[in-house]
Amino acid sequence: MNSSEGKLKSSSSELDLDRPNIEDYLPSGSSIQEPHGKLRLRDLLDISPALTEAAGAIVDDSFTRCFKSNPAEPWNWNVYLFPLWCCGVVFRYLILFPMRALILTIGWIIFLSCFIPVHFLLKGNDNLRKKMERALVELICSFFVASWTGVVKYHGPRPSMRPKQVFVANHTSMIDFIILEQMTAFAVIMQKHPGWVGLLQSTILESVGCIWFNRSEAKDREIVTRKLREHSQGADNNPLLIFPEGTCVNNQYSVMFKKGAFELGCTVCPIAIKYNKIFVDAFWNSRKQSFTMHLLQLMTSWAVVCDVWYLEPQNLRPGETPIEFAERIRDIISVRAGLKKVPWDGYLKYSRPSPKHRERKQQSFAESVLRGLELEEK
C-alpha cells in the first residue's frame, strides 16, 4: 500500500458513522493502512476524505434514484432505422395527437353539458345527484385515458362502497388517480395544486368527496385526519383512495408509507400499479415539468400501458403498530408491482438539509483537523 492511502486513513478516522464505507469504493484486494512517520501539515489540509465521502454519497444515493426518470435506450442509431423513427415522430405529432386532442375536447363538451345541469338542478335530490356526478367523473376520466391510447389491464374484483375501508396505492403520477377513477369514483386525498388542476379540484372533484391539503400548512394535517375518519365511517361515501407515499416515485422504487391511512381502524385494500415503459415513462416529476406538459407528453406518445392489481384486503393484526401495518402493506404492493423498497421518507424531496446536519458535518471535519494538529505538536 502506498503512502497516499495512508494519508487517507489518518485524516478520515473517527468521523460520524453515516459516512459511506471508504473501503467499499477501493479496488478489490486493497485495504487502508495506518500511516508511518511524522504527520505533516499537508496531511491535515488534505481534502480527499471529504471528497471520498461526497463521491460515496453520489455513488450510493438510493434516495435520488427514486425520483429520476431513466431515459430510454436510443435505437435510431443507424441509417435504415433513423427514417423509421422520423416517420414515427410525424405520425405521433401530426396524426395521433390531433385525434387525441379532438377526443378529449369532445369528452369535455359532453361532460360539462351534463355535469353543470346535474350539479345545479338536482340539489334537492342528493342521492340521484351524487350517483350521476359519480358516473360523469368516471366518464371524463375514461376520455382522458382514451386521449393517451391507454391500455390498462385490471386484475381482481372491482372496488365497492363499504364503510370502514380505505384503498391505498403506490404513486407514480397524477394519472394514477385518473386510471383508477375511470373504474370506480374514488374520493382521493391529494395535494392542492394551482392553475386549472386546482380549479378542477375545487369544483368537479369536490363533488365526489375528495379531500385536499397543503404540505406547507401544519394545521392541514389535523383537518385532513379528522376528515379521513369522518369519510371512512360513512356507508354512502365514495371509496377512500390514499397514496401513502405522499409524493410521485418513478415506478421502480417504493418509499416509506405515511401511517395516517393505517391508524383509522379501517380495512386497508392495497392497489398495485405498474407501468410499461416501452412506449412512455409515466413518471411525473412536478419540479421539472408542469402537469399540462406531462399530459402533452402522454398524448404524443404511442400509448400508456399499465397493469392494476386490486389485492386482498388487510386488517391490523393483534399487537401490530400502524407503522408495522404500513410496512406490511408496502411489502405486498412492492412485491406485486415489482418495486424496490428503500428506507426513505418521500417528503425529504421537498426539504433542504437541516442546518444542524450541516453544522454536525462541519464540526466533525474541524475536530479531525484539530486532532491532527495535536498529533503533529507531539
- Point out the residues of the chain with pLDDT beneath 50: 1-36, 39, 44, 59-60
By three-state DSSP, how is residue 186 classified? coil
Gap between the terminal Cα atoms of the chain: 26
- Measured between alpha carbons, how far is 225 from 192 in angstroms, rounded to an integer? 16
Question: pLDDT at position 62, please?
Answer: 64
- Measured between alpha carbons, how far is 166 from 267 in angstroms, rounded to an integer? 6
Q: Which amino acid is at 115?
A: F
Query: CB-based contacts of 191: which residues, under 8 Å, 6+ apart?
Result: 212, 213, 214, 215
Other Cβ atoms within 10 Å of 312 Cβ, number: 9
- Measured between alpha carbons, how far is 166 from 143 in angstroms, rounded to an integer? 26
Return the percentage of the chain with pLDDT > 90, whole number: 37
The pLDDT tens digits of the residues spanning 227-280 come to 888 887 777 788 899 999 988 898 999 999 988 889 888 899 999 999 998 888
- Measured between alpha carbons, how far is 268 from 265 in angstroms, rounded to an integer? 9
- Measured between alpha carbons, how far is 156 from 177 in angstroms, rounded to an integer? 18
Query: 227 with 205: CB under 8 angstroms?
Result: no
Cell of 307: 397493469
Strand partners, 361: none
Cell of 180: 383508477
Burial classification of residue 306, based on how many CB atoms lie within 10 Å of its CB (0-12 exposed, 13-18 middle, 19 or more buried): buried
